[in-house]
Chain A
Amino acid sequence: MTFKRIQVAADSVCDLPAEIVRELDIRIIPTYVNIGHQSIPDDGAQLDRQAFYRQLPSMKAQPTTSAPSPGEAEVFYQNMLSDGAEKIVSIHVPDRLSGVLNTMRLGARAVGAERVALVDSLQLTFGIGFQVWVAAELAVKGASLNDILEAIERVRQHTEVYAIIDTMQYLQRSGRVSSLVAGIGTLLKIKPIVRVADGDISSLARSRTWSRAEAKLKALTQDQAPLDRLAILHIDNHLGAERFLDSIREIAPQETHIIEVCPTLGAHIGPGSIGVATLNQNWRN
């Protein structure tokens, strides 16, 4: 760590497991889930994900989510600089879908905008995670800011994030990505298979049954092999994630993680869904 001059930071939507965060000294700023009058930081401690997802279907009002405050962003950066960082690479949930980057920009301005390289990941969940993970690995090895930013770009180009939305009801209620919702139709239960790319969510296919949706997800995932890293994503559906992983075991790389998506994102998607984040081996070339 002594050579490290660049500090990597992200928001909690990147969904990196605690052990990777610890090992690579990544700094995570929590986003918030608002339930009723309570605003709970998604910091892995104060919000019990499992309990949250179990209660979600019966909550009277859909929870909302919010970005950290500009003040929190400033303190977040200030702490890193005090700890000796020369520059900060700060990777976040897309501008298009959230206000996080905006707050982080205000925080960065307060500590000196030239010290913080803000990155719009244009991705969600582990799609952000891959960028943060690789950036932190390079930072630990003492890579330059340019090398790190270039690597993030390559990772982004070789990342795919796909998911089966089990029910459209949460996206409908949340009002986010209304273009997606309107396109899918609202009268019948339809499970879209979505792709996250360029900071947006679009439908790749529509299915009325889970097994057909899962077959599509499997085919999409297999098309991404050979994989460098893989995350199976789920919302309160660990069993489903494991079963899906079994079905694509032959292409699963050593770095394969089963990840429960953060409530900040999950509140808009709802329990039951599964997905994948893939990083193709070619990102290294």
Chain B
Amino acid sequence: MSLCRSKYGIDAKALKQALASAIGQFSQHVEVINEMNVFPVPDGDTGINMYHTLQRAYSEISDLDDSDLAELSQRFAYGALMGARGNSGTILSQLLKGFAEQLQTAEALDTREFTLACKRAVQSAYEAVTSPVEGTILTVAREATETLELRADDGVALSEALNILVRAAQASLRRTPELLPILKESGVVDSGALGLVSFLEGLASTDGKFDSPEKAGSPAAAGPDTPMDSSNDTSYGYDVQFLMLGKNLNIAQIRQDLEQVGWSLLVVGDDSTVKVHIHVDNPALPINYAVQSGATLDDVVIENMELQFRRRPPRGASSTAAQKHQTSDAYGVIAVAPGDGLRAIFEDLGCEAVIPGGQGRNPSVEDFLVSIDSINASSVFILPNNGNIIMTARQAAETAGEARVDVLPTTSVVEGISALIALRSFEDSGEDGGGDLDLAVGEMRAATRQVCSIEITRATRDSRLGGLEICCGDFLATGDGQILAAGPTTEAAVRDALAKVLKAEHELVTLYYGEGIQEREASKLIERLSFTYPELEFDLVFGGQDLYPYLIGLE
């Protein structure tokens, strides 16, 4: 029905109906997608994230009646961008953005346009991800589109083209475990990819009946919670700036290539002159890249940010309350945190806005934009505090109007708190007098690496992971994307994880106890732990987070 209205293609009205029907069907499968997860922990939120993204997208077109394809697709993509949540939602929004871009010049959606739009969508999604991970929604979108290109020539009806796409996507989905070892180990497919397939199936289905992705249907995960940020710097690093002069310089390509070697990247200019500004651990990397590209280098400046920082004369008396106030007006901090206790901690440390959220509740791009707007600062630091929220935050950063927005890739509240304390410390030192935000970012990044995060949660099903037999209901300790320990009680999980992770240089263990844990119970645990580790200092704080009885920071 929906997409096979005409042999030659469909108009805006038909597309709108098809989207409505597909989103309606998607809603029935949110739980199935949620439950699929590489980790047997209650963090399955891919389905709900993608659904929110689609719902918000549809809200932009729900009252559009007499629009053309260009307007419809553009508004839908805009809504998805604003509502994008989680990694999968963000990637979905990028797919829709590329798709809409292609339709800006199309009169009707026929097989040819559809294929081109799919290609553009894949390109847009890959561009948005700093380090694309194969075996995820990205792979499925790309492989399905490649098949579509091969098999759908202009003579194929749109409905058949869509069927080709769906079948290719289903096949690709089944292959995801081969590409991503963590999926294979868990015996699941990728849940973000499953979400995409479900959405495409909804579009293709003619009778509104949802055919589940056959047997692929064991669990799958929200993009493999792989941190999207690959930089692993150990210092403030170097600030490298140069001009590339040449012909036909490809800014997008340069940006994409340089993103692999550093952070705080800025690439601007035209096809004959490109200005590059990047922070790196190894300044040779961007320079080599530029030389090897064949461009002529000019105006090369390399500054050692660490020395720069150290050389500054000690100050302090100058940071009077009045000055501090002025500075804090110049920039603001937004953090994402679950639970009243954690919110209070971020606020106590002077955070201007705390967005409630975390695992299972990813804020949308729009949530970030509203916060950025509300704190009314010319520069903003965002602490996403969850690997699945970083991309959304970055999306918001790119969309935000005039404010400079730096997203610190914090993957836990423990890291976020460290970063925030480092920022406050930096202000105390008076070093921020010149408002050098790059130095502040360097301080915060360094601080996140000085703390180690352990999360205690409850397994939602039996599984075997990392050589551990895990029973449903067991308490699990995870850290840095790994399962560290599993045990029948929180204490057992905490103890095993500590034994595994503690190093000689660790001095302080902070326990943030969550919803459902009594303070008395937590203090007793601390008491017993300090008996085992008399040389360590312990700090017990109410976090109030759901899903995680304890969040632990080691430093």
* Set of chain A residues within 8 Å of B350, measured between Cβ atoms: 185
Whether a CB of chain A sits under 8 angstroms from the CB of B285 is: no
* Shortest beta-carbon distance from A31 to chain B in Å: 26
Once the chains are docked, how many angstroms separate the CA of A210 from the CA of B539? 14
Of all chain B residues, the one with the shortest Cβ separation from A192 is B428
* Set of chain B residues within 8 Å of A198, measured between Cβ atoms: 317
Interface hits, A199-217 → B, CB 8 Å: 202-212
| Interface SS of chain B | mixed
Structural contact, A206 and B508, CB atoms closer than 8 A: no
Once the chains are docked, how many angstroms separate the CA of A207 from the CA of B425? 8
* Set of chain A residues within 8 Å of B450, measured between Cβ atoms: 212
Structural contact, B510 and A188, CB atoms closer than 8 A: yes
Whether a CB of chain B sits under 8 angstroms from the CB of A187 is: yes
* Set of chain B residues within 8 Å of A208, measured between Cβ atoms: 418, 421, 508, 510, 555
Interface bits B498-541 vs A (CB < 8 Å: 1, else 0): 00000001011010000000000000000000000000010101
Structural contact, B314 and A188, CB atoms closer than 8 A: no
Which A residues form the contact surface with B (CB < 8 A)? Answer: 179, 183, 185-190, 192, 195, 197-198, 202-212, 220, 223
Of all chain A residues, the one with the shortest Cβ separation from B428 is A203
Structural contact, A223 and B314, CB atoms closer than 8 A: yes
* Shortest beta-carbon distance from B536 to chain A in Å: 11
Whether a CB of chain A sits under 8 angstroms from the CB of B32 is: no
Please pick, from B317, B510, B539, the residue contacting A202 in the complex, using a CB distance under 8 A: B317
4 closest residue pairs by CB, A with B = A206-B425, A203-B428, A189-B539, A185-B348
Once the chains are docked, how many angstroms separate the CA of A220 from the CA of B316? 11
Interface hits, B20-55 → A, CB 8 Å: none
Whether a CB of chain A sits under 8 angstroms from the CB of B321 is: yes
**From A205, A208, A210, residue with most partner B Cβ within 10 Å:** A208
| Interface SS of chain A | mixed
Once the chains are docked, how many angstroms separate the CA of A56 from the CA of B353? 39
Once the chains are docked, how many angstroms separate the CA of A44 from the CA of B421? 39
Given A187-B541, A212-B450, decide whether A204 and B316 contact each other with a Cβ distance below 8 A.
yes
**From B350, B424, B541, B555, residue with most partner A Cβ within 10 Å:** B424
* Set of chain A residues within 8 Å of B179, measured between Cβ atoms: none
Structural contact, A206 and B321, CB atoms closer than 8 A: no
The 15 sampled A-B contact pairs (Cβ below 8 Å) are A179-B321, A185-B345, A187-B344, A187-B541, A188-B348, A189-B510, A190-B421, A195-B317, A202-B317, A202-B319, A204-B428, A206-B425, A207-B425, A208-B508, A208-B555
Given A187-B344, A190-B421, decide whether A209 and B316 contact each other with a Cβ distance below 8 A.
no
Interface hits, B408-428 → A, CB 8 Å: 417-418, 421, 424-425, 428
Of all chain A residues, the one with the shortest Cβ separation from B324 is A183
* Shortest beta-carbon distance from A280 to chain B in Å: 12
Given A206-B424, A223-B314, decide whether A188 and B345 contact each other with a Cβ distance below 8 A.
yes
Please pick, from B314, B316, B345, B507, the residue contacting A187 in the complex, using a CB distance under 8 A: B345
Structural contact, A189 and B537, CB atoms closer than 8 A: yes
* Set of chain B residues within 8 Å of A211, measured between Cβ atoms: 505, 507
Once the chains are docked, how many angstroms separate the CA of A185 from the CA of B351? 11
Once the chains are docked, how many angstroms separate the CA of A242 from the CA of B424? 30
Whether a CB of chain A sits under 8 angstroms from the CB of B349 is: yes
* Set of chain B residues within 8 Å of A185, measured between Cβ atoms: 345, 348-350, 424
Once the chains are docked, how many angstroms separate the CA of A189 from the CA of B314? 25
Interface hits, B261-320 → A, CB 8 Å: 313-314, 316-317, 319
Extra contacts besides A188-B345, A195-B317, A202-B317 (14): CB < 8 Å: A185-B345, A187-B345, A187-B348, A187-B541, A188-B539, A189-B508, A192-B428, A197-B316, A202-B316, A203-B428, A204-B314, A204-B430, A205-B428, A208-B508
Whether a CB of chain A sits under 8 angstroms from the CB of B429 is: yes
Of all chain A residues, the one with the shortest Cβ separation from B540 is A189
* Shortest beta-carbon distance from A105 to chain B in Å: 26
Once the chains are docked, how many angstroms separate the CA of A195 from the CA of B315? 10
Once the chains are docked, how many angstroms separate the CA of A187 from the CA of B214? 51
* Shortest beta-carbon distance from B348 to chain A in Å: 4
Given A208-B555, A209-B507, A212-B450, decide whether A188 and B541 contact each other with a Cβ distance below 8 A.
yes
Once the chains are docked, how many angstroms separate the CA of A15 from the CA of B349? 34
* Set of chain A residues within 8 Å of B555, measured between Cβ atoms: 208-209
* Set of chain B residues within 8 Å of A197, measured between Cβ atoms: 316-317
* Set of chain B residues within 8 Å of A209, measured between Cβ atoms: 507-508, 555
* Set of chain A residues within 8 Å of B345, measured between Cβ atoms: 185, 187-188
Of all chain A residues, the one with the shortest Cβ separation from B417 is A188
Given A195-B316, A195-B317, decide whether A204 and B539 contact each other with a Cβ distance below 8 A.
no
